[in-house]
Amino acid sequence: MTITERPSSITDLHRTLDEAEVGRKHWLTVFTAGMGFFTDAYDLFIIGTVTVLLTPIFHLNTNQISFLNAASLLASVAGALTFGRLMDKLGRKKMYGVEISILVVGAILCAFAWNFTSLFVFRLLVGYGVGGDYATSAIITSEYANRKSRGKLVGTVFAMQGLGLLAGPLMASIFLSAGVSHGLAWRLMLGFGAIPAASVVYLRRRIKETPRFSLNIQGDEDSARTAVAWVTDSNPIVSCDDSTNTSSGDSSASIQDQASKPGAGLTRAVKVRLTDQPFLTRLIGTAGCWFLMDIAFYGNSVSSPLILKKLQPGGTLLSHTLISLAIFAVAAFPGYWVAVRMMDRKGRKSIQIQGFLIMALAFGLIWLVPGVSSNVAIFLALFSISYFFIEYGPNQTTFVYPSEIFPTSVRGMGDGISAGAGKMGAFIGALMVPHLLRSIGLSGVMGIMAVVSVLGALLTIIALPEPMGKSLEEASCEVFSDEPVERQAV
């Protein structure tokens, strides 16, 4: 079997997607995916405040606090791997909406937990849905996106995490300042996570199969054309000139003519393995960078109430929650949207390297400069800088990268493994930071985060390409076979 250029009908459909202006259906896709990420962030980060409230109610010890903080993160590894694999095997559409339904059920059950064990189990269910959402939402948005704005569209989905980060401490502050009892407040905080997720279940189940999966994997040109027409609000014109096909057969025959011949079918993308090069190197880059970034991001964010308590031992839970809210609002939230704006101008690779390096600088100063870890003003300034460059940097780009640089046949698994590795790093960070704060102190924790950030910058330089401005097929090194294959039933 030889590798050839795409038949012109396939090329025309890809080109229509790549060159389309961003329209209403693109933003509908982004909204449908983004509401999941709002919920993901809210559910993953609200637990830090919840465990503080629950400590005297459930009589939690340090180990139990760590396990509750990290339970959803560990389960999200399994969710990302499972849904990533199923998307490649069964299609994007069949899985979309299933993962967020799991999240909704888990959030409701968490609100009715009666002890440590029940809450731990229900948090695992929430995490499983969150992990599935990471893989499905990025890929569906990427496969519908155009070439010039793909980074902005996928990045906007992830930027909804910023709203979730704000919503967590905001909801906590409202309940605490209103005098709601701690026994009721934690249940309301956890139950709220079901509302935004439930609002988009219907939209996700109604979305069409992505045209790239229909065309490249299923060989279903009719479904692909329908999906392209839906997202671009146009009727894509398919060329009858097959002169781009370099196979030894009849190069002037259209793909429809080939499909009508006995025993013939549609030409589709060649299926590859993630262990093939360059995909293995890319997978090490996407999974490794996401793993390292999430150690720092989730380690600091989930344990922010404990970090602030270490910084201000006399502060109240409300004051620490308000400080967290201020950091997210002033530093983290703008970082997401600056990244969205610059993703298709500056490129993923340079943004990720810059973000990691300035994170390392901020953490390193807290670690190495005497007195910084006990000086509230200086610590909060450096801590806020680190948050801005996490969001304008690897927290955004590690989400975008895996949805772009793997071929269609393994894109789900590549994204799932990358997201799973990230959440394993998040699990380690959330689990270990409470113990590390007790053993090596605040400055020691920041020293570990500085080293992690330097490693992330080095791995980005070595392992990752720059997909900015390229079609998804070019960025992912997609190749097509000159051997027609039978059309799959859909």
Residue 230 has a pLDDT of 84
Interhelix angle 24-58/279-302, nearest 10 degrees? 50
The alpha carbon torsion through 345, 351, 353, 357 (nearest 10 deg) reads: 140
Q: What does 254-318 look like in DSSP terms, one character per residue?
A: -HHHHHHSTT--B--BPP--TTSTTHHHHHHHHHHHHHHHHHHHHHHHHTHHHHHHHH-TT--HH
Judge contact between 356 and 398, C-beta under 8 A.
no
Residue 318 has a pLDDT of 79
Residue 1 has a pLDDT of 35
Residue 355 has a pLDDT of 96
Residue 221 has a pLDDT of 83
Rounded Cα–Cα distance for residues 339 and 345 (Å) = 10
DSSP secondary-structure letter at 481? E
Closest CA to 64 of 435, 315, 441: 435
Kindly list the domain boundaries of the chain, sorted by start residue: 3-211+272-470
Distance between terminal CA atoms of the chain?
A: 26
The low-confidence residues of the chain, meaning pLDDT below 70, are 1-10, 234-268, 481-490
* Highest CATH level, class, for 3-211+272-470: mainly alpha
Residue 386, judged by CB atoms within 10 A of its CB (0-12, 13-18, 19+), counts as buried
Interhelix angle 150-177/24-58, nearest 10 degrees? 30
pTM > 0.85? no
Judge contact between 69 and 434, C-beta under 8 A.
yes
Residue type (1 letter), 224? A
Q: Tokens 């080109």 correspond to what residue?
A: 15
